[in-house]
Copies of this chain bind each other. A is one copy, B any other.
Amino acid sequence: MTEPALKIGDLARLSGVKVVTIRYYETIGLLPEPRRNVNGYRSYDRAALERLQFIRRCRDLGFSLDQIRDLLSLASETERSCAEIDILTARHLDEVEKKILKLQALARELRRINALCQGDATISNCRIVEAIAGEQFGAP
């Protein structure tokens, strides 16, 4: 079975990651430098596609590129316990849940402020402006 030999555009289509972003991942060392064709074009194999798809999926899950670096290096040590992976994902879930709580508090506050508007007011007696100017909202 011969390798497919993908160009960067193919890789982009198959992974859903933009061409420029693939090159960016290469410059920061998240993707290894691929072979080059005689014309200088990058030439990728299936392994590169899989790595990129893994990265893409991690991004969709909200992991940072640094976290992904860790996940990738862990995932390559096939003999190790998967406990560390578990810890990373659990911690990330925790962060996401905290972020949700913060945004929900924020949405409540915005709804409250918005409900103050009587619609026919001028700025000078706008209750929204008053509400924003006059109160202290719990900081992060």
Count of A residues near B, CB < 8 Å? 57
Residues 74-105 of A contacting B (Cβ, < 8 Å) = 74-83, 85-86, 89-90, 92-93, 96-97, 99-100, 103-104
Contact A114-B90, Cβ < 8 Å, known A60-B137, A122-B79: yes
A92 contacts across to B, CB distance below 8 A:
110
Interface class of chain A by DSSP: helix
- Residue contact A89 to B61, C-beta cutoff 8 Å: no
Per the bound structure, the CA–CA distance linking A97 and B100 in Å amounts to: 10
Task: Say yes or no: A123 contacts B80, CB within 8 Å.
Answer: yes
| A128: Cβ under 8 A from any B Cβ | yes
> What's the Cα separation between A57 and B137 when bound, in Å?
7
Closest chain-B Cβ to A113's Cβ sits at a distance in Å of 6
> Is A9 an interface position by the 8 A CB rule?
no
The verdict on A121 contacting chain B, using a C-beta distance below 8 Å, is yes
Partner of A61, one of B83, B120, B126, B132: B132
Residues of B within 8 A of A89 (CB): 110, 113-114, 128
* Contact yes or no, A133 B77, CB < 8 A: no
User: In the complex, are the beta carbons of B93 and A135 less than 8 A apart?
Assistant: no
